[in-house]
Structure 1
Amino acid sequence: MKLQIVPARTGVQWVKLGVQTFWRQPMALAALFFLAIAGMSLVSLVPLIGPALALALLPCTSLAMMVAAAEATQGRFPTPTLLLVAFRTGRQRLRAMVTLGLLYAVAFLAIMGLSALIDGGTFAEVYLGGETMTREIAEDPEFQAAMWLSMALYIPLSLAFWHAPGLIHWHGIPPVKALFFSFVACLRNWGAYLVFGLAWMVFFLACGMVLALVTGILASLIGSIAGGIMVGAAMMLAAMFFTSVVFTFRDSFSAPDGREPELSGD
């Protein structure tokens, strides 16, 4: 496995490939993403440890979408069984993915804990859905400080975990090394990832404006359906985003002989 350096414009190509691949199998990929989110939501209901377990499943969800996107690019139908791909590729990789999930949960909760030292846990409660955002909360200086601290700490965390599931699954790299290689790959290709993020922001904003117009018209005709359209569209856009992640992985790493890695569910 070798790190590849790509030009900044590649970030736009990753977005295009993600959108195009999603529309090859839109129902399958959207359903897979919905099932993954629903599963994490159910797990979060487990008393005491539920939220931590749900966080620990996020790397597995990311891997499932990466594998599903790889299957779609090769003309295969991504089935719901891919949700279990992290659990059926051998004991060594299973242990590695479990370790990765636990590390993510611990790191994320540590960030929330640090933010709670500033504002007493208000930001953590709002972020995790335990409290409704209000104008008073948003304008609270302590809340804002906790928010910015969390964002500053979460960026390097997300970079470390961005490629880690794929490195474990396709290259068999141990969790800690996978985190290190993922972080380095994102830093070395920072231009492409910056363009990637900005391109998705523009795409989301454009889709949001169109949806707002459509739902505004529908709301005056059939009020009850407008909200459902917004939620469904948001889920589809999120599924598109996760579909594009596999292309960032494919172009950031190559096989030892310089070839692109062959991505599959195995």
Structure 2
Amino acid sequence: MKLNIVPAKTGVQWFKLGIRTFFKKPIALLGLFFMFMAAMSVLSLVPVLGNVLALALLPGATLGLMAATREASQSKFPMPKVLLSGFSAGRQQLKAMLVLGLLYAAGFLLVLAISATVDGGKFAHLYLFGGSMTTDTVLAGDFQGAVMLAMVLYMPLSLLFWHAPALVHWHGVSPVKSLFFSMVACVRNFWAFTVYSLVWLGAFLAMGMVVAIIAGLTGSPELVSGFIFPAAMVMAAMFFTSIYFTFQDCFLDDTGEAA
């Protein structure tokens, strides 16, 4: 397994491959994404423990979506069991994936703990225990500061785990080493990931503009509210489909081929 350095324009290619592959098997990939979201949502209904468990399972579940993308890119129809790929590849890899999940959960909880120093734990409490989010709470300066700090701190955590599940699953890399290699790959391919992020940001903003135009032309808030959620879910499914290609191009196997 070798690190591959790609040009900035590869970020656009990742975006295109994600959309192109999604439309090869749209029903399957969208269905698997909904199953992924539903499982995380159901777990999150249980205060604290459910949220922590969802965090711990997230790396393995994300690997399942990457495995589904890999099958779709080969013109195969990904079945629901592919979502469990990260947990069904043998005892050693199962243990490694669970360790990776615990590290992710610990890292995310640390982010919440640090954000609590800004707002006294209001944002962390809302995430872990749920509850209603009032306008006064959202507009409070300390709450907004905690959210912004959490977003900033989450960025390096995201880079550490971006490639880690795939490295553990397909290359047998240990959890700690996978975090190091993932961060190095993201940093060394900084411009490709920057372009990739900006293109996806532009795509989501464009979707929002389309929704705003529809709202203006129809004057129907009900129509817009009924359209925006499924449209956002389709966009999110396409985004998750594109993640596999960032891994594929960032790492080469020992023969020099894409991972």
TM-score by length of 2: 0.93
Paired residue for 1:214? 214
- Asked whether 1:227 is paired with 2:225, we answer yes
CA distance in 2, matches of 1:219, 1:169: 49
Cα shift at 1:111: 0.7
Q: Identify if the C-alpha distance between structure 1 residues 92 and 218 changes in structure 2 by more than 3 Å, giving closer, same or farther.
A: farther
Q: Identify if the C-alpha distance between structure 1 residues 119 and 66 changes in structure 2 by more than 3 Å, giving closer, same or farther.
A: same
Paired residue for 1:264? none
CA distance in 2, matches of 1:56, 1:126: 19
Paired residue for 2:145? 145
- Asked whether 1:32 is paired with 2:35, we answer no
C-alpha offsets along residues 197-217 of structure 1, whole Å, 9 cap, x if unaligned? Answer: 000000111122113333555
C-alpha offsets along residues 201-250 of structure 1, whole Å, 9 cap, x if unaligned? Answer: 00111122113333555663xx6554232111111111100000000000
Q: Look up the equivalent residue of 1:108 and give its one-letter code.
A: F
CA distance in 1, matches of 2:36, 2:120: 31
Q: Identify if the C-alpha distance between structure 1 residues 119 and 82 changes in structure 2 by more than 3 Å, giving closer, same or farther.
A: same
Cα shift at 1:104: 0.7
Query: Aligned-pair RMSD on alpha carbons?
Result: 1.8
Paired residue for 1:132? 133
Q: Look up the equivalent residue of 2:229 and give its one-letter code.
A: V
CA distance in 2, matches of 1:81, 1:168: 19
Residue in structure 2 matching 1:251, options 240, 245, 249:
249
C-alpha offsets along residues 108-142 of structure 1, whole Å, 9 cap, x if unaligned? Answer: 011111111220122234556534252x4344332
Aligned-pair identity in percent equals 54
Number of matched pairs: 258
Counterpart mapping for 1:1-266 below 5 A: 1-46=1-46, 48-125=48-125, 130-132=131-133, 134=135, 136-214=136-214, 217=217, 220=220, 224-261=222-259
C-alpha offsets along residues 28-57 of structure 1, whole Å, 9 cap, x if unaligned? Answer: 111101101101111223355111001111
CA distance in 2, matches of 1:219, 1:231: 18
2:17 alignment partner, SS class: helix
Q: In the alignment, is the contact (CA less than 8 A) between 1:59 and 1:165 conserved in 2?
A: yes
TM-score by length of 1: 0.91
Gaps of at least 5 residues in structure 2 are none
Gaps of at least 5 residues in structure 1 are 262-266
Q: Identify if the C-alpha distance between structure 1 residues 122 and 39 changes in structure 2 by more than 3 Å, giving closer, same or farther.
A: same
